[in-house]
Amino acid sequence: MKVEKSYYRTRTVHRTLPGNTEDPSNSILSCGFLHRPNGPHENKNILFSYYGGLYVISGSGVYIDGETGKEYPVTPGCVVQRMPGKRHHSLIHRGEDWLEFYFCASARVFETLVELGLATDAPVFFVGESMDIFCRLVAYLQLFEQTDNSRSPELLIEFQRLLCHLNSYSLASDADRWKQRVSEVLERNLRVGLPLSEIAKQCGMGYEALRKQFRRVFGCSLEQYRIQLRTNAAKSMILDRDLPLKEIADELGYCDTYAFCKQFKRQVGVSPGKFKSDRTER
């Protein structure tokens, strides 16, 4: 996975939950990018009182359980978890340009998610190199930067969402992960005129490979599925956001309102205006 070089720098945000300042294991909230160029870099006998997780973007190394001595190889696409109260060691290999996104939070919250089966307590698990995950992590950091410390409890909810999201990748089958990733890419790229080759590029595949696998998994063509997503988005804009047809057409990339209405009627069976009036009368 290639990310812009501008991300290859340390950029962190720290928040503290109010009312828990005397207990760091339940008051910390932190996240950000950590860049360590040109390994090796080694940390020995580390012990966290809080939960610390990280997603590896580039570089490789080893995580070593401080109690059992078991070694876990770490590569891009891995999530490494520094368990509260458990010693561990970590090593970044020589010559590696290491970039991680880390996220720290309350030990108690992490332990509750594990008890509920929503998170794993595995020291290392693989979720894959995913631009979707990367974009979610960037958005997570930006939310931290924009949220005042007085509103930090809201960020604790976002941490839970993030950890559950990462675990959903590890619990799903390879086919499910692929399907989820492709769906997310398509939902972010609904505009008419965007080349399907660009969609394939964002999915990390060649166009022909994506086209064939997509039909096998989804049972329809890539373009048919994208048109359906676009139609669903248009319905939401009409009913939930009450946008003018011209604004909807512009947002979805149609050349004009006529082209939008024509395709909408082809998919839905009625014009956008009739669709809205039918739903309003109910």
H-helix or E-strand spanning residue 201: helix 196-202
Question: What is the crossing angle of helices 152-171 and 107-115, to 10°?
Answer: 40
More confident site: 205 or 239: 239
Question: For 48, which DSSP code?
Answer: B
Q: How many domains does the chain fold into?
A: 2
Closest CA to 48 of 98, 100, 123: 123
CA distance to 57, 215, 267, per residue, from 69 (Å): 25, 46, 59
Does one domain contain both 186 and 238? yes
Q: What is the 3-state secondary structure (H, E, C) of 1-35?
A: CCCCHHHCCCEEEEEECCCCCCCHHHCEEEEEEEE
Does one domain contain both 20 and 113? yes
Does one domain contain both 54 and 181? no
Does one domain contain both 158 and 184? no
Domain of 207?
Answer: 176-281
CATH number at residue 14: 2.60.120.280
CA distance 251 to 245: 10
* Amino acid 173: pLDDT: 58
* pTM, entire model: 0.62
The residue count of the chain comes to 282
Mean pLDDT, residues 44-66 taken together: 92
Q: Would the pLDDT of 169 be above 80?
A: no
Does one domain contain both 162 and 57? yes
